[in-house]
Amino acid sequence: MKPRVRFAPSPTGELHLGGVRTALTNFLFTKKHQGTFLIRIEDTDHERSRKEYIDQICDSLQWLGLQWDEEISFQSDRGLAYEYCIDQLINTGHAYRCFCSKEELELIRKETGSFLYNGIWRGREQSEINNEIKKGTPFTIRLATPDDGVTEFEDMVYGKISISNTELDDFIIARSDGSPVYNFTNVVDDKNMNISHVIRGEDHISNTPKQILIYEALGYDVPNFAHLPMILGDDKKRLSKRHGATGVHYYRDSGYQPNALINYLALLGWNPGTEKEIFNLDKLIEEFDLSKVQKKSAIFDHKKFHWVSSQHLILQDNKDVLSDLIDIDKQWSDDEKQKDYLKLINIMKHRSHSLKDLIERSQFFFHRPMNFDEKNFKKVWVEGTNSIMQDLKKNLEFIDSWVSSELEIKFNEFINKKELGYGKIMRPLRFALCGNLNGPSLFDIMELLGKKEFKYRLNYIINEFRNNEQK
C-alpha cells in the first residue's frame, strides 16, 4: 500500500522552520514511495486562527516546492463528523459525560494528591446523567481508558514506546462548550483522510498513546507513527525567535534560495550515510530514508546554513541568478549591461550566501565609493601611497588587453620593479576601487570596471588624499 501522509499546521502564526522540517519529512517519505502528500489546516482555534496565516503557510510550502496532491482540508468544516464520533463513543460506553466543575476537580486533586482524574462520573446511572442535563449543568466528554495493561507502539524513529495505562486518566475529548480537543480531532481526521503514516515532532510522543486509545475505541486501524527530533538553537534550547528569525518568509525575503533552505533542514537530524551534503529536492527524494533519521535533537547552525546556501548559489546558472536578482532589485535590469552583470555574478556568488548578500557585496559596481571610512582611509592611504598609485596608473595606461590575466602580469611586473610588498599596494587599491578592504580577485574587479572607470576611481581617491592634506 502506498503511503498517505499529511502536514497539519495550525493557522495561528506564520510557518516556522520546525514546521517546514516536519512538512519536508512527510513530503520526502511519501514521494520516495510514490504516495500522497496532503495538507490539513487545523483551524478549530477560532480566536487565534487567521486567513492570512493560512495564505502564508500555503505560499511558503509552494515556494519551497512542497506541493500537496489533493485539495486542502479544514478542520472547521468537520464539526458534524466529530459530533457523530463522540455520540458513537458515548453510546458504546467508551466515553462518558463528566459534570465536575473546576472547583470540584481541584478538590479531587487535593484529596488524591494526583493530577489524574479519578473517574468519579464514570459508570453513573443514566437517570443521574439526565438529571444534570436537565439542570443545564456544564459537562465535558471523557474517554473511558483501560484500568490496567499498557499502550504501546513501534515508532519508526525511536523504536518501541510503551506507557502503562495507569499513567493515563480518563482524559477529555470534548470541552464543556462542545468543541473537540486536539487528540480527538486528529484521530477522526486521520481516519477520514486514510492517513497511513503520522510523521510529526517528538513533542507529540506523549499524545500518541492517547490517540491510539481513541483509535481503538472507535474501532479504527492504528496508523504508523514516526516522531522527529527537535530543532534546537545554539544554546541547545528549542528553536524560537530568540535565536533569530524562524519564519519561512524571512528567508525568502532575505534572498535565500528555496533549495538551500530545504537542503539544510533535511540535514537536521538526517543524513544519507555518505559525505555528500548538497542536494536539490529531487535528489533528496531519491536519497531519503526515514530509518536514517537520528534520535538526537539537531542544532540549527547559521554558519553551516550559510555554507549550504552559498553552495546552491555557486551551482546555479548565472542567468538564473540574474533573473532572481532582478526580482529583488531593479538596478540589475539594464539589458545593455547584462554581460557585465553576469561577470559580476560569476565573481561575487562565490563569496555570497544569499541573493541579498550578493547584492550588498556588489554595490561597488553600481555606486562609486565617494565617502570613505575615515579610519580605514588613514590606515591604508599613507604617505607615499599617492605616488605609488600615480605610477601604477601610468604603468597600466598602455596595456593592450584590459583583462584579468593581463592585468595581473603587468601588476606583478610593477611591484617587482618597485620592490613593493603586495599589502602596500593591494589594500589601498582595493579600497580605492571598492570602498572596502575585502573582496574577490582585484584583477577581476579591474577587468569588470574597465579602464576608464578604474582611472576615474583612482584619480578620485588621489585627489581626496590631497584635499585632506591641505585641510
* CATH number of the domain within which 418 lies: 1.10.10.350
Encode pLDDT of 74-104 as tens digits: 999 999 999 999 999 999 999 999 999 999 9
Confidence of residue 113 (pLDDT cuts 50, 70, 90): confident
Q: Inform me whether the pLDDT recorded for 15 exceeds 70.
A: yes
Report pLDDT for 239. 81
Mean pLDDT of 171-177: 96
Mean pLDDT of 418-440: 89
Please state which of the ranges 252-256, 351-355, 435-439 shows the lowest mean pLDDT.
435-439
Report pLDDT for 421. 84
Same-domain pairing of 58 and 144 = no
Domains of the chain: total: 4
Q: Which domain holds residue 283?
A: 241-316
Domain boundary among 290, 316, 342: 316
Cα angle at 289 between 284 and 290, to 5 degrees?
A: 115
Same-domain pairing of 392 and 428 = yes
Same-domain pairing of 255 and 307 = yes
- Give me the percent of the chain exceeding a pLDDT of 90: 82
DSSP per-residue string spanning 42-81: ----TTT--HHHHHHHHHHHHHTT---SS--EEGGG-HHH
| Dihedral sign for Cα atoms in the order 41, 44, 45, 51 | positive
Residue 419 makes CB contacts below 8 A (sequence gap 6+) with: none
DSSP per-residue string spanning 344-367: HHHHHGGG-SSHHHHHHHTHHHHS
Report pLDDT for 234. 83
Residue with cell 515556494: 63
Candidate ranges 44-48, 215-219, 239-243; pick with highest mean pLDDT: 215-219
Same-domain pairing of 261 and 397 = no
pTM of the full structure: 0.91
Same-domain pairing of 227 and 246 = no
Encode pLDDT of 33-42 as tens digits: 999 999 999 9
* CATH number of the domain within which 83 lies: 3.90.800.10
* CATH number of the domain within which 298 lies: 1.10.1160.10
Confidence of residue 468 (pLDDT cuts 50, 70, 90): low
Length of the chain: 471
The reply to whether 327 falls in a domain is: no
Q: How far is residue 402's CA from residue 400's CA, in Å, rounded to a whole number?
A: 7
Q: Inform me whether the pLDDT recorded for 260 exceeds 60.
A: yes
Q: Inform me whether the pLDDT recorded for 471 exceeds 80.
A: no
Domain boundary among 231, 264, 299: 231
DSSP state of 16: B
Same-domain pairing of 30 and 161 = no
The reply to whether 449 falls in a domain is: yes
- Give me the percent of the chain exceeding a pLDDT of 70: 98
Q: Copy the grid coordinates of residue 29.
A: 517519505
Residue-averaged pLDDT of the chain: 93
Same-domain pairing of 100 and 133 = yes
Query: Which H or E run contains 40?
Result: strand 36-41
CA dist 57 → 13, 16, 20, 110, 386 (Å):
9, 9, 9, 44, 57
| Dihedral sign for Cα atoms in the order 187, 190, 195, 200 | negative
Q: Copy the grid coordinates of residue 418.
A: 618597485
The reply to whether 338 falls in a domain is: no
The reply to whether 347 falls in a domain is: no
Report pLDDT for 420. 86
CA dist 187 → 46, 173, 410 (Å):
20, 11, 75
Same-domain pairing of 210 and 292 = no
Q: Inform me whether the pLDDT recorded for 243 exceeds 70.
A: no
CB 381 within 8 Å of CB 431: yes
Same-domain pairing of 189 and 259 = no
pLDDT top residue among 48 and 3: 3
Domain boundary among 316, 334, 355: 316
